Structure 1
Amino acid sequence: MSDPIPNESAGPPGFVVGGVSSDAGKTVATLAIARGLEAAGYTVQPAKAGPDFIDPSHHEALLGRPSRTLDRWLCGDDGLRRNYAHGEGDLCVVEGVMGLYDGDGSSTAKVAETLGLPVVLVVDANAGMESVGATALGFRRYAEHIDRDIEVAGIVAQRAHGGVHERGIREALPESMTYFGRIPPMDDLEIPDRHLGLEMGTETSLDSDALEEAAETLDIEGLAALARVPDPPSSVERESTDRSGRHEVTVAVADDDAFCFRYPATLERFRTLGDLVSFSPVAGDPVPACDAVYLPGGYPELHASQLAAGGTLEELGELATDGLPVLGECGGLMAMSQSLTTVDGDRYEMAGILPADVQMHERFQALDHVELVALEDTLTARRGTTLRGHEFHYSRATLREDVDARFAFEVERGTGITDDRDGLTEYRSLGTYAHVHPESGAFDRFLERLVE
């Protein structure tokens, strides 16, 4: 498709970069494609299928604009389309999650189908030629097998050499499938990883010259021509019950290397319905004047000594005791606990808001899309309301034996904190292992509670 015309209600034209597996090299391919498109004069809006926070940080580090979160489980079909539509630019490049068809809650294929966008398949060609063609053809035909409307339009060959290797891959592809180029094997195109995935884009950005070199071996204009205007959402904004517009409230959001897992749409929602200020607990910032505090997830375990010594968490604990609402997700829950113990056995005092102690483990303790049902009216939901979210953590919270702990949610799907319960509450505060998206209505409810 050439010269796609943007639809303001649907968002920019785009395509999806899917992979044959989790380690196929989707992130590097996405960044190289984006770099090539920008060099060709296109303004690129990045997006990410699934609930991830880390890959989007690399998108933003390269392009200077937040990456849109596209997850059917978190947002629903219309919410997914709304989040896409809020993007800007000439073209949108959507990085997939895991393998193209993997993920019962929200796979890359489901995201592509929901938006009606074509897929560029990233195939690791390091040790294959004809097999690359067989793999690509199999991924295209599998869509027919499961009776889904998913167009695998062509491939990018990851870790592929030129010459005979590239020619063999081209010749192996069916005539109906486009070869969009290759990503050469380069040490400068490897992103270090650790628990929870790759390092953040603010910590380790890919070498700019290496990305530019990789982009030169891609068919950038062919990729631009592939972009398609997506299916628009049925409504521009998410419907919200009992919403009277903007609230005269201020939410303070923790924002540093320890609290960096937040969806751009969440901050947008705060700015739409109230005021937002940021602060850094790692730097020891005082808690700003506010009506509530939001502690997103991240890596408090990597900055535990600074958090314990900085004074911000101690002040936050005192404010929560006096009735300031504090909402913490995953890493935020950990910071709200009594203590945090690292894998090495070092113990650090945290804010002391919630009656639990947190221990880090070498293996992950939970990884899944989650569904929570509110047992009572709480900061993010009314009693009986269902929230959908995502959990991925290496820590485990243990309740203090001398306290009658109160939980806000029953876990219908997922792990939670303990005994199919999540949402530990104390004073007017709430800590949960689940990350939720604003399409769930949780942050609308959070702001509404501040003015009730």
Structure 2
Amino acid sequence: MDGIVIAGVASGVGKTVATLAVCRSLQRTGRVVQPAKAGPDFIDPSHHEAATWRASRTLDPWLEGESGMRRNYARGSGDVCVVEGMMGLYDGSTTSRPDVDEMDTSTAKVAESLSLPVVLVVDASAGMESVAATALGFREYAARAGLDLDVAGVLASRAHRGRHEDGVREALPDELTYFGRIPPREDLEIPERHLGLEMGDESPLSAEALDAAADGIRVEKLLDAAREPAWLTAAEEEDDASPRSDDVDDRPTVAVARDDAFRFVYAATRERLRERAEVVTFAPTAGDDLPDCDGVYLPGGYPELHAAELSDSPALSTLADRAADGLPVFGECGGLMALTESLTTVDGDTYEMAGVLPADVTMRERYQALDHVELRGRETALTCPEGRTLRGHEFHYSEADPATDARYAFDVIRGRGIDGERDGLMEYQTLGTYAHVHPESGAFDRFVDAVASATRRCRHI
């Protein structure tokens, strides 16, 4: 699988739209496109999936480690992998701060680790020659930062055809390829709300708009630049040699909430759960009750937008009863919120939630946390043994107010967690945390192991 990274000079230059346009242009040549996203993100990948009909891969060295990130890339399939970057190309880099002891999580580092060329998206709405100067500076900065990075060329965002496009293309030096332009059209703007863009199934770009954007892409130049990483064969062999599933007769059943309130799930998480367990889904906001299961996973999402439906859902009442009986339950961010006593919206309306975890949650106008996180287990919980560390990502607008006697699963090494020092509320065999984790962390394997162990104990009673 050849690959290419679509990176921006900054946030807001149109990377997502450019990525979707590149995917459409490749599809029109008959290629099967595998979308991917650098960094922790659930929203941009939803637009990838809406445009390509294929689940997007998450590629993040903090969440997965470099070897895990490569494995995740290798598990994709298709002719060309199109990786959308995060923020600006070098944002998150530690190369200019050698005294800082932390991992480089920039798009540049992702591209270097995966050995993929970079197509640089530059907002050309108010420039021509300056676009070339900006791109040349980004290319030369790689060497200055000590990165083995190939900035192959430029994709001009919000550029008109004719003199505007010609001015950008003619100003580029020979070492930078002109990959085309994205036209400045209103129907190529994706609406925003808190947590970022609206989801791909809520505000997908129309086929007409994507085709218009794809018309400006020089697809043959992209295909010439894309390449297959040399390490890919070894990663595929390593993945093929790893165990895929447990004994079919001993697989527990895990219920996964999947609806408008619970929708932030990495593709690799779905895959790993299905490898280790029988997965059944349910939709609490649609009135589904909790299905018969041995464990429950509540992903993140938008419970604050569906608090009334959740409050009336039979699933939360059943979940509360079964959690009290020892059913293993794991909730991430939005899942944590649904497991607490109550949820208060920004409008001041308060709704009862499942009441499993001793806390009340209130939504705020501004985000309360946005960072990669690292947690250390205070005591053995569903996803992490005592003393071990777990890496993840947090991004939320809510604030939790736990009871004074609440039990915490983690000390916060990096990030905010629940109170700046601790994260992960525990009660019975239930864990709710603000951190989103990736299966490469081992957290979901430990969760399934805990579910299977609890199931075996019940069978012996």
TM-score, L = length of structure 1: 0.95
Number of the residue aligned with 2:36: 47
Gaps of 5+ in 1: 1-11
Letter in 2 for 1:160: A
Instruction: Calculate percent identity across the aligned residue pairs.
Output: 63
Number of the residue aligned with 1:147: 146
Number of the residue aligned with 2:238: 236
Number of the residue aligned with 2:98: none
1:103 CA drift (Å): 1.7
| Matched-pair contact (CA < 8 Å) for 1:238–1:439 | no
Equivalences for residues 196-235 of structure 1 within 5 A: 196-230=195-229, 231-232=231-232, 234=235
Number of the residue aligned with 2:416: 415
1:322 CA drift (Å): 1.3
1:86 aligns with one of 56, 75, 79:
75
1:451 CA drift (Å): 2.6
1:313 CA drift (Å): 1.1
Q: What is the CA–CA distance in structure 2 between the aligned matches of 1:326 and 1:367, rounded to whole Å?
A: 25
Determine helix, strand or coil for the equivalent of 2:138. helix
Q: What is the CA–CA distance in structure 1 between the aligned matches of 2:247 and 2:116, rounded to whole Å?
A: 34
Number of the residue aligned with 1:159: 158
Determine helix, strand or coil for the equivalent of 2:284. coil
Q: What is the CA–CA distance in structure 2 between the aligned matches of 1:236 and 1:93, rounded to whole Å?
A: 23
2:326 aligns with one of 318, 323, 328:
323
| Matched-pair contact (CA < 8 Å) for 1:240–1:441 | no
| Matched-pair contact (CA < 8 Å) for 2:320–2:355 | yes
Equivalences for residues 50-449 of structure 1 within 5 A: 50-104=39-93, 105-230=104-229, 231-232=231-232, 234=235, 236-237=238-239, 247-401=250-404, 404-449=405-450
| Matched-pair contact (CA < 8 Å) for 2:328–2:450 | no
Determine helix, strand or coil for the equivalent of 1:236. helix
| Matched-pair contact (CA < 8 Å) for 2:246–2:275 | no
Q: What is the CA–CA distance in structure 2 between the aligned matches of 1:384 and 1:239, rounded to whole Å?
A: 30
| Matched-pair contact (CA < 8 Å) for 1:316–1:351 | yes
Determine helix, strand or coil for the equivalent of 1:343. coil
Number of the residue aligned with 2:456: none
Q: What is the CA–CA distance in structure 2 between the aligned matches of 1:451 and 1:27, rounded to whole Å?
A: 40
Deviations 1:253-311 (CA, angstroms, capped at 9, x unpaired): 00011100010101100111111110001111011111100000000000011111122
Determine helix, strand or coil for the equivalent of 1:37. helix
1:221 CA drift (Å): 1.5
Determine helix, strand or coil for the equivalent of 1:384. coil
Letter in 2 for 1:342: T
Q: What is the CA–CA distance in structure 1 between the aligned matches of 2:394 and 2:300, rounded to whole Å?
A: 10
Structure with greater proportional helix content: 2
Letter in 1 for 2:150: E
Q: What is the CA–CA distance in structure 2 between the aligned matches of 1:203 and 1:446, rounded to whole Å?
A: 31
1:346 CA drift (Å): 0.5
Q: What is the CA–CA distance in structure 2 between the aligned matches of 1:238 and 1:432, rounded to whole Å?
A: 32
Letter in 2 for 1:131: S
| Matched-pair contact (CA < 8 Å) for 1:255–1:279 | yes
Q: What is the CA–CA distance in structure 2 between the aligned matches of 1:238 and 1:381, rounded to whole Å?
A: 26
Q: What is the CA–CA distance in structure 1 between the aligned matches of 2:314 and 2:42, rounded to whole Å?
A: 27
Q: What is the CA–CA distance in structure 1 between the aligned matches of 2:239 and 2:393, rounded to whole Å?
A: 22
Determine helix, strand or coil for the equivalent of 1:431. strand
| Matched-pair contact (CA < 8 Å) for 1:263–1:437 | yes
Determine helix, strand or coil for the equivalent of 2:122. strand
Q: What is the CA–CA distance in structure 1 between the aligned matches of 2:313 and 2:292, rounded to whole Å?
A: 18
Determine helix, strand or coil for the equivalent of 1:51. coil
Letter in 2 for 1:418: D
Deviations 1:170-213 (CA, angstroms, capped at 9, x unpaired): 11111111000000100000000000000000111001101101
Letter in 2 for 1:148: L
| Matched-pair contact (CA < 8 Å) for 2:290–2:314 | no
Q: Which moved more, 1:309-318 or 1:325-334?
A: 309-318
Aligned length: 438
1:237 CA drift (Å): 3.6
Q: What is the CA–CA distance in structure 2 between the aligned matches of 1:148 and 1:171, rounded to whole Å?
A: 28
CA 14–41 in structure 1, closer or farther in 2 if over 3 Å, else same: same
Q: What is the CA–CA distance in structure 1 between the aligned matches of 2:36 and 2:57, rounded to whole Å?
A: 4
Letter in 2 for 1:422: D
1:222 CA drift (Å): 1.3
Determine helix, strand or coil for the equivalent of 1:435. coil
Determine helix, strand or coil for the equivalent of 2:238. coil
Number of the residue aligned with 1:17: 6
Q: What is the CA–CA distance in structure 1 between the aligned matches of 2:312 and 2:10, rounded to whole Å?
A: 42
Deviations 1:344-375 (CA, angstroms, capped at 9, x unpaired): 10000000010000000000000000001111
Letter in 2 for 1:214: A
Letter in 1 for 2:312: A
| Matched-pair contact (CA < 8 Å) for 2:378–2:411 | yes
Number of the residue aligned with 2:100: none
Q: What is the CA–CA distance in structure 1 between the aligned matches of 2:308 and 2:90, rounded to whole Å?
A: 41
1:110 CA drift (Å): 0.7
CA 23–447 in structure 1, closer or farther in 2 if over 3 Å, else same: same
Q: CA-atom RMSD, angstroms?
A: 1.5
TM-score, L = length of structure 2: 0.93
1:238 CA drift (Å): 10
